[in-house]
């Protein structure tokens, strides 16, 4: 860590600051400039609350030299992490994994129809919401436990592993026993009690980026799960909130190479929630593959116009089949298996 102070800092203040850091076990180096004094701290500063130093009126600036995450960092884990779910290897450089299914599970017929169809078109994993986070208390909130049972039935029928969203720490055990990937939604990315519970399982966790979360905060949430003992985190970029209103959110595809640089964890893209517009899903999906994502999670519905949730962004079965054809051709170009 580097601390910059004014040159007008009284020597006694400087001395006591130095003393404090030495007591904490840091080595110090001090550079006196014309307009400021620069103090370099050597040692493990992960646990140091840098902001507090700014309270000192002699201190002008603070710069962290180390990243605040460790287990998620590529620095300490140079090789890509690849997570095996069913036949899919998420994070493997030679793979591009597509998860597909409806926003919410609505009925046995619906989920089976969609599951069979997306399997035929080439999905590796089935998605479907049983517990739904909805902005309005008056909107459909999901079939909950019944939805989980229907997803399991779809898994039995198709062999596809299932991914579905969890909203509360008390459901972790049920999810652990019933689903293949546990999804943490954007709104719960910093629900730390939930993250801590998920750190106790070894199930793969699909961690969506919060609407206004920086890449660093997102990796810190992954760090929560990993610090708890679960290394199986899959990151998912799903759009951030900006001033642009034409799309519901702004898909931040630059986050993919950024995450790949900073971390060894797999990262997939959700082209459905980001734009919120079904005719944009195809071009965003192709761009996600081109930019280096490890896969997609796409909303597909047998009858989007009647969907109980998020119909406007869902592909119908034919649109999805068509998307998979284009992705398939492109994956060959990029040397990836789907």
CA distance 115 to 265: 27
- Sheet containing 2-6: order of strands: 27-32, 36-42, 2-6, 59-63
Does 330 engage in binding with a second copy (CB under 8 A)? yes
Among the residue ranges 78-86, 112-120, 151-159, 311-319, the one whose residues contact a second copy (CB under 8 A): 311-319
Q: Which residues pair with 125 in a beta bridge?
A: 99
Q: What does the block give as tokens for 256?
A: 């993919």
Residues 1-40 that bind a second copy (CB under 8 A): 2, 4, 29, 31-36, 38, 40
Site string for a second copy, 35-74 (x = CB under 8 A): xx-x-x-xx--xx-x-xxxxxx---xx-x-xx-x------
CA dihedral (90, 230, 224, 167) positive or negative: positive
Judged by CB under 8 A, the residue of 114, 256, 323, 324 near a second copy is 256
Task: Please identify which residue in the block is written with the tokens 């993919």.
Answer: 256
CB of 281 closer than 8 Å to CB of 312: no
Judged by CB under 8 A, the residue of 23, 78, 79, 138 near a second copy is 138
CB of 166 closer than 8 Å to CB of 206: no
DSSP 58-119: TEEEEE--S-S-STTBGGG--SPP-EEETTEEET-TTB-EEEEE-SB---HHHHHHHHHHHH
Q: With contacts defined by CB under 8 A, how many residues of the chain interact with a second copy?
A: 106
User: Residue 169, Cβ neighbours under 10 Å: how many?
Assistant: 15
User: Residue 333, Cβ neighbours under 10 Å: how many?
Assistant: 9
What is the closest distance, in whole angstroms, from the C-beta atom of residue 238 to a second copy in the complex?
Answer: 12
Does 78 engage in binding with a second copy (CB under 8 A)? no
Judged by CB under 8 A, the residue of 134, 152, 200, 325 near a second copy is 134
Among the residue ranges 122-130, 147-155, 173-181, 309-317, the one whose residues contact a second copy (CB under 8 A): 309-317
Among the residue ranges 110-118, 122-130, 229-237, 288-296, the one whose residues contact a second copy (CB under 8 A): 288-296
Judged by CB under 8 A, the residue of 15, 212, 318, 325 near a second copy is 212
Q: What does the block give as tokens for 112?
A: 């089976």
Residue 233 three-state SS: strand
Backbone phi and psi for residue 97, each to the nearest 5 degrees, phi listed first: -105, 125
Q: Which residues pair with 267 in a beta bridge?
A: 235
Residues 174-193 that bind a second copy (CB under 8 A): 187-188, 190-193
Residues 93-112 that bind a second copy (CB under 8 A): none
Among the residue ranges 92-100, 108-116, 119-127, 326-334, the one whose residues contact a second copy (CB under 8 A): 326-334
Does 169 engage in binding with a second copy (CB under 8 A)? yes
Does 123 engage in binding with a second copy (CB under 8 A)? no
What is the closest distance, in whole angstroms, from the C-beta atom of residue 159 to a second copy in the complex?
Answer: 30
Judged by CB under 8 A, the residue of 15, 159, 214, 318 near a second copy is 214
What is the closest distance, in whole angstroms, from the C-beta atom of residue 55 to a second copy in the complex?
Answer: 5
What is the closest distance, in whole angstroms, from the C-beta atom of residue 113 to a second copy in the complex?
Answer: 18
């Amino acid at each position: 860590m580097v601390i910059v102070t004014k040159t007008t800092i009284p020597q006694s203040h400087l001395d006591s600051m130095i003393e404090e850091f030495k007591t904490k076990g840091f080595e110090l180096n001090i550079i006196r400039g014309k307009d400021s004094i620069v103090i370099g701290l050597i040692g493990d500063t992960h646990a140091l609350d840098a902001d507090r130093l700014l309270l000192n009126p002699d201190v002008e600036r603070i710069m962290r030299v180390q990243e605040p995450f460790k287990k998620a960092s590529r620095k300490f884990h140079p090789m890509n992490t690849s997570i095996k779910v069913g036949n899919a290897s998420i994070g493997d450089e030679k793979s591009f994994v597509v998860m597909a299914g409806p926003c919410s599970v609505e009925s046995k017929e619906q989920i089976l129809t969609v599951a069979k169809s997306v399997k035929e078109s080439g999905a590796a994993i089935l998605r479907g919401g049983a517990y739904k986070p909805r902005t309005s208390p008056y909107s459909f909130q999901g079939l909950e436990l019944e939805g989980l049972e229907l997803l399991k039935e779809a898994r039995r029928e198709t062999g596809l592993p299932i991914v579905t969203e969890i909203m509360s720490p008390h459901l972790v055990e049920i999810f652990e026993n019933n689903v293949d990937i546990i999804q943490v939604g954007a709104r719960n990315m910093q629900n730390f009690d939930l993250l801590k519970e998920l750190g106790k399982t070894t199930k793969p966790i699909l961690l969506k980026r919060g609407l206004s979360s920086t890449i660093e905060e997102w990796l810190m949430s992954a760090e929560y799960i990993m610090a708890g003992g679960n290394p199986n985190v899959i990151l998912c970029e799903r759009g951030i909130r900006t001033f642009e209103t034409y799309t519901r959110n702004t898909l931040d595809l630059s986050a993919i190479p950024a995450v790949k640089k900073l971390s060894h964890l797999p990262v997939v893209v959700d082209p459905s929630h980001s734009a919120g517009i079904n005719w944009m899903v195809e071009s965003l999906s192709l761009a996600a593959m081109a930019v280096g994502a490890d896969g997609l999670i796409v909303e597909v519905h047998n009858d989007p116009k009647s969907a109980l949730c998020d119909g406007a962004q869902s592909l119908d079965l034919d649109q999805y089949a068509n998307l998979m054809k284009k992705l398939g051709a492109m994956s060959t170009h990029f040397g990836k298996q789907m």
